[in-house]
Structure 1
Amino acid sequence: MRIVVVTDHAHINGGLAKVAIDSAKGFARRGHRVDYFAAVGPVEPGLAEAGVTVTLLDQPDVLSTSSLARFGAQWLWNGAAEQGLARLLAACDPAETIVHVHGWAKALSPSIGRALKKAGLPVVHTLHEYYLACPNGGFYDYGAARNCDYTAMSGGCIAHNCDSRGYHRKLMRVGRHALMRYGSGLYDTARHLITISKLQREVVAPYMPKDAAFYEVGNPIDVTDHGPKGEHRPGDFVFVGRLSAEKGPRYFAQAAELAGVTPVFVGDGPERAALEREFPRATFLGWKDPAGVREALRAARALVFPSVWYEGQPLTVYESLALGTPVIVSDICAGREAVVDGETGFWFRCADAHSLAGAIARLKDDDLARRMSDAAYARYWADPLTLDRHLDALAAVYEKVRADWRKAPSLAAHAEALL
């Protein structure tokens, strides 16, 4: 099988890129021919070491561009991405190829849809976020700091400013979303969709083509089995992640104050300065490398995950459970699916500091914290989210997608005519 991985970044800058890169390397090591097509470098060295062929456009994204005006044109319609992907796909044998799109919204743009549609190859999308359904990619109202109440692309949606940078940016997002859906062909390729949580499927299904097929494949979790904590003394309540409004750090700080504990924040972001002023007793450790994050999670009494938006599959929640640390999680986000309420942690009402404080107060009990720690560890490792398990699930999806493609003679004939 030839697997063409399409995504914005060729290096690990977050969970999406890590999953794309790890799966590409994993399939190459299993003997498949793997191409990795991306806009933004540098290239993760492990790709070449695993035998993956990388096509890099060497373009910027919004964080690395030297000219927002020039990048705006790329963000709207990346002609180089369309042409480069078209050349790559034209060299692929339709009888053996699958195209897997992980991400396009940060640099590649909707233009890749034209190349995908012209090639006529079987395509599967992993929905790491919500850009195929929502103009801002998250069904989140940044101005109100809560989930959005509007139907995406409805009149109310278009008229409402949910963007973090202003209404002009919202209108740009609306325009690009309309182009993605009606003018690029990208939406037309979204017939086979991998979701990474049940909640994600519930959220996006009303916006996807009626004949779309959904497959749930959890992301792999890069964590080592260190064994149960045993009689380890429970530590602090810890938040890990970006200190931004949608992640809910303020609710954690407020709840910790109500519960009489010291909140510990691992991470950084735009909310940090205000939180430090408002909550001087809180501890802020800043960003840590992956090993430092795992050390902080292993030592914690509980991870507090107060996100106020849907999320996709928050990997920190699973990593915490694997390390034997219970999780207190918002009931609106997909992280709740990993937590058995009352056994491996607690759910609390989203954006409700008093509800969160109640859960924190319960876990101040050392014996309960130890029991939940043992349960979290045992439940995770009874069915761990390993890379091999992830690859097996993806391979099964690929075969289903390819079988469906073979049943559509017009597509197959079109693809073969292009070769």
Structure 2
Amino acid sequence: MHVVILAEFAAASGGAEKVAVESARGLAEAGARVTYIQAVDGPVDPLLDHPRLRRVALALPDVWSLPAWRGAVTGIWNAEAARRLAAALDALPEPVDCLHLHQWSRAFSPAVLPVLLARPAPLVLTLHDYFLACPNGVYYRFDRDEPCTVSPMSMSCLAAPCDPKSRLHKAVRVGRAASLRIARGRESLDVIHVCDGSLARMTGWLGTERLRHHRIDNPVRVVHGAPAEPARGDAVAYIGRLTVEKGADLVAEAARRAGLPALFVGAGPLAEPLRVQGAEVIGWRTPAEVGAILRARARAVCAPSRWYETGPLTIYEALAQGIPAIASTRSGAAEKVRHGETGLVIEPEVEALDQAFRLLRDDAVVERLGRAAHAAYWKAPPTLEAHADALLGLYHRLADEYFMRHCTQSESAERDRTVAALR
């Protein structure tokens, strides 16, 4: 089977790119022939170096690197992206059995959808966020620091000043969302959800008439080994973008109140304010470095998302190592945490986090949660192999359906031509 994976970057600067890269590697290791098409030039993850994996770079600019007016136009409809993608697909040395799109908001734009839908192969989209329905992609009111409550693209949505930058940016995002709906046309799409919460929300917003919904966990690349010893750790750890919607500020304040150090691995607009408050911010680290830091320092890993986050992977990685996880009730990762057994599921509020962190001062509690987390995770781990097997099962099913549907249509057309000739 030949699969084309499409993403805007070839190295992990976020969860979507990480999953795209790891999926490509897992599929290649499982025996599939993989073409990885990246929109933007930049660093390339070593995982993409495999004999059954070829990489194609379209050398498109990231819209955030362009002048404002050009970035806006390109973000709404990037005709050049469509042209380059079509040429790249035409140049592939073998037919494609399935296309899998992971991102389209930074360079590809909705313009690539007609190109992909016109190919003689099924198309799958993984929904790492809510861009298929929501203009700002995270269903969050940045003007209020709270989740949104209105229907995406309704009149209330269009009027809401919810964008993290400005009303002008919101207008551009609305334009992109509208062009996305036009680009889809009447075609049916197969979409993959990475958590139950996303499945429920997107089904409610978009229905099932022209969408077929599938549920596959993201892969977690952690080697099965002895559990960590979190009771020896000294800090509550946060890994990821340092932003308000992800709740980095909540961790800092709650840790201060509970009398525990807070360790931040990542970068973002809150980095300097967190340092000013006395938090330890060490920037981005490689996955191997993060694993070592967590095993040495973390009493728990906390992801107190204010938005309805579909992940984050950091919670799964903590559980896999036997480190207690503290997840927001709004996070898809909370679905994997057993409250009071392998970690804690709490509201993304300072008071709730303060109480949770105070529990973590007890070594016996931390040790119990960590050991239970490790044991529960490895009973049914979402490994890269399991992820690749689930994807291949879906690809084969969709490819078979696509062949039967189009074969039947071709045979019907041939029969009609024969009947017409006999008349």
* TM-score, normalised by the number of residues in structure 2: 0.89
Aligned residue in 2 for 1:130: 130
1:380 offset after TM fit, Å? 1.1
User: In 2, distance between residues paired with 1:321 and 1:409?
Assistant: 45
Aligned residue in 2 for 1:152: 152
Amino acid at match of 2:58: L
Matches within 5 A, 1:232-243: 233-243=232-242
1:25 offset after TM fit, Å? 2.8
Is the CA contact (8 Å cut-off) linking 1:346 and 1:359 kept in structure 2? yes
User: In 2, distance between residues paired with 1:116 and 1:96?
Assistant: 11
Query: Structure 1 181/349 Cα, relative in aligned 2: closer, same or farther at 3 Å?
Result: same
What SS does the corresponding residue of 2:368 show, helix, strand or coil?
A: helix
Q: For each residue in 1:256-276, what CA deviation from the matched residue of structure 2 results, as whole angstroms up to 9, or x when unmatched?
A: 233232322222221122233
Q: What are the ranges of 5 or more consecutive residues in structure 1 without an aligned counterpart? A: none
What SS does the corresponding residue of 1:293 show, helix, strand or coil?
A: helix
1:44 offset after TM fit, Å? 4.1
Aligned residue in 1 for 2:203: 205
Aligned residue in 2 for 1:401: 398
Amino acid at match of 2:57: L
Is the CA contact (8 Å cut-off) linking 1:303 and 1:328 kept in structure 2? yes
Please provide the CA RMSD for this pair. 2.6
Query: Structure 1 386/119 Cα, relative in aligned 2: closer, same or farther at 3 Å?
Result: same
Query: Structure 1 286/85 Cα, relative in aligned 2: closer, same or farther at 3 Å?
Result: closer
Matches within 5 A, 1:146-225: 146-182=146-182, 184-185=183-184, 188-189=186-187, 191-211=189-209, 212-225=211-224
Query: Structure 1 147/110 Cα, relative in aligned 2: closer, same or farther at 3 Å?
Result: same
User: In 2, distance between residues paired with 1:337 and 1:87?
Assistant: 42
Aligned residue in 1 for 2:318: 320
Is the CA contact (8 Å cut-off) linking 2:151 and 2:205 kept in structure 1? no
User: In 1, distance between residues paired with 2:302 and 2:205?
Assistant: 31
Is the CA contact (8 Å cut-off) linking 1:138 and 1:310 kept in structure 2? yes
* TM-score, normalised by the number of residues in structure 1: 0.90
1:229 offset after TM fit, Å? 3.1
User: In 2, distance between residues paired with 1:151 and 1:165?
Assistant: 21
Query: Structure 1 44/262 Cα, relative in aligned 2: closer, same or farther at 3 Å?
Result: closer
Q: For each residue in 1:304-329, what CA deviation from the matched residue of structure 2 results, as whole angstroms up to 9, or x when unmatched?
A: 21111111121100111111110111
User: In 1, distance between residues paired with 2:56 and 2:408?
Assistant: 25
User: In 2, distance between residues paired with 1:2 and 1:181?
Assistant: 28
Query: Structure 1 142/108 Cα, relative in aligned 2: closer, same or farther at 3 Å?
Result: same
Q: For each residue in 1:48-104, what CA deviation from the matched residue of structure 2 results, as whole angstroms up to 9, or x when unmatched?
A: 5433233321012134x2534333332221222212333444577998611111111
Query: Structure 1 125/407 Cα, relative in aligned 2: closer, same or farther at 3 Å?
Result: same
What SS does the corresponding residue of 1:57 show, helix, strand or coil?
A: strand
Q: 2:374 pairs with 368, 372, 377, which one?
A: 377
Q: For each residue in 1:29-59, what CA deviation from the matched residue of structure 2 results, as whole angstroms up to 9, or x when unmatched?
A: 4443322222112344543543323332101
What SS does the corresponding residue of 2:40 show, helix, strand or coil?
A: coil
Aligned residue in 1 for 2:358: 361
What SS does the corresponding residue of 1:119 show, helix, strand or coil?
A: coil
User: In 2, distance between residues paired with 1:121 and 1:165?
Assistant: 38
Matches within 5 A, 1:45-194: 46-63=47-64, 65-89=65-89, 97-182=97-182, 184-185=183-184, 188-189=186-187, 191-194=189-192
Is the CA contact (8 Å cut-off) linking 1:303 and 1:327 kept in structure 2? yes
Query: Structure 1 250/14 Cα, relative in aligned 2: closer, same or farther at 3 Å?
Result: closer
What SS does the corresponding residue of 1:301 show, helix, strand or coil?
A: strand
Aligned residue in 2 for 1:390: 387
Amino acid at match of 2:402: W
Aligned residue in 2 for 1:294: 291
What SS does the corresponding residue of 2:114 show, helix, strand or coil?
A: helix
Is the CA contact (8 Å cut-off) linking 2:326 and 2:345 kept in structure 1? yes
Q: Give the paired residue count.
A: 410
Is the CA contact (8 Å cut-off) linking 2:117 and 2:123 kept in structure 1? no
Amino acid at match of 2:56: T
Amino acid at match of 1:325: I
User: In 2, distance between residues paired with 1:345 and 1:125?
Assistant: 31
User: In 1, distance between residues paired with 2:121 and 2:10?
Assistant: 22
User: In 1, distance between residues paired with 2:89 and 2:194?
Assistant: 26
1:249 offset after TM fit, Å? 1.6
Aligned residue in 2 for 1:269: 268
Q: What are the ranges of 5 or more consecutive residues in structure 2 without an aligned counterpart? A: 415-423
User: In 1, distance between residues paired with 2:194 and 2:150?
Assistant: 23
User: In 1, distance between residues paired with 2:66 and 2:106?
Assistant: 15
User: In 1, distance between residues paired with 2:329 and 2:289?
Assistant: 27
Query: Structure 1 229/290 Cα, relative in aligned 2: closer, same or farther at 3 Å?
Result: closer
Give me the identity figure in percent.
35
Aligned residue in 1 for 2:308: 310
Q: For each residue in 1:108-146, what CA deviation from the matched residue of structure 2 results, as whole angstroms up to 9, or x when unmatched?
A: 000011112322421111111111111111101112112
What SS does the corresponding residue of 2:59 show, helix, strand or coil?
A: coil
User: In 2, distance between residues paired with 1:324 and 1:90?
Assistant: 47
User: In 1, distance between residues paired with 2:409 and 2:31?
Assistant: 25
